Amino acid sequence: MQTVTAAQIPTLVTQTVSYNENLAKARETMKIHEALQMAEHMKATKKITMAGAKHGNADTSHQGTSGISTCKTEVKVTYSAQNCSLDSSTDAVSLGNVDEQNTDKIVLSTTDDQHGILTVTALSKGTVTGTLQASSNTEGACITGGADFDGASNQANALFSKVEPKAHTFKNTAIPLSKEGDSSKCPDDATQSVGHQYKHTTLARAICNTRKAELPSFTPLHRQELNQLVRNTQLIQALADLDNPGAEVPTGEAAKQTLVHKFFGATPEIFKQRITDTIDKTKIDIKIRNTAIKKAPFELAGTADGVTVLAYYLGKAEAEKAQLSDSQEKLKQSENTEKRR
């Protein structure tokens, strides 16, 4: 059983490497699309802040016109979407709203404009002369001293500019996470096309493959169910060679079952008692050349201590065999002597 188990380990290693490589590719694709969505998110101009209004009295000229008064301010543009989904109908997105194992689609958003657009409006009222001062209530506005905007009074003189972002609209696209017409398969991906990593289907396929991926696992033969051993081709071949070297390996289900039952017992209870518990619970406890070794057989397999123990028992068996042969030879000689008398 240990030999067959060891022979299956390279397959497990190969499967695990492939599993990790596929997950790494899927993660790379997801990070690419995360960056794309963040770029769309950052396009959503939501806030304009103006500060530091500074009045200039008839101190500016523009294309031949002189004596122009100014009201200068600094404009700060803040890019932040109202919510992470860019979907106005879902302002409270939380992890609890997302069922990553069962959802059948993802929603991606794109903006309607390639570049943000700002609207600038110049506003003035009354006679704007003399020394004005910055408004305390309206960023970027210049007002006559003592006549600030207060939300109620209708002021007579004011000069200011108003900067507003043009509202963005977003196109939401639902991307199915399975192949059209067959929910058991992942969507196709045109891997040969230019820039396929940026396509929605590539992201959908990466998510689908990640959800379907199962971490390779391995169970030693002595811990498997008895009926599983019947389906292990390598084990059946090994048992056939032990039972009748050179004979044909059984192919029928009944013949395989008979072979397995012959070596390991006919019921799960017998198999557990005779094989599983013996291997897992019985420990080799021996001292060889002042080195104490106390481990289960499977723990020793493939280790230096395992080689030492195996050599010890093989040597011991050969010594006992030689001793028995010597005793038999002496007994035979003694019998011949008695006969001659």
Identify the top-confidence range among 62-76, 253-267, 296-310. 253-267
What CA–CA distance (Å, rounded) separates 89 from 61?
49
User: Are the beta carbons of 45 and 165 closer than 8 angstroms?
Assistant: yes
Residues in the chain: 341
Helical axes 233-243 vs 253-264, angle rounded to 10°:
70
Residue 223: strand, helix, or coil = helix
pLDDT beyond 60 at 86? no
Residue (of 214, 211, 215) closest to 26 by Cα position = 211
Q: Are strands 133-134 and 45-62 parallel, antiparallel or unpaired?
A: unpaired
Of the candidates 151, 173, 220, the one whose C-alpha atom is nearest the C-alpha of residue 33 is: 173
Residue 126, phi then psi, degrees to nearest 5: 75, -160
Is the pLDDT assigned to residue 89 strictly greater than 60?
A: no
Specify the pLDDT at position 79. 61
Q: Is 232 helix (H, G, I), strand (E, B) or coil?
A: coil
User: Alpha-carbon distance 203 to 211, whole Å?
Assistant: 12
pLDDT the model gives residue 279: 78
Average pLDDT over residues 312-332: 73
Q: Which of 48-52, 66-70, 266-270, 293-297 holds the top average pLDDT? A: 266-270
Confidence of residue 108 (pLDDT cuts 50, 70, 90): confident
Contact 181, 62 (CB under 8 A): no
pTM for the model: 0.48
Cα–Cα distances in angstroms (integers) from residue 100 to residues 24, 91, 105, 175, 202, in the given order: 18, 19, 10, 14, 17
Minimum mean pLDDT range among 141-150, 160-169, 194-203: 160-169
Given this model, what pLDDT does residue 308 score? Answer: 82
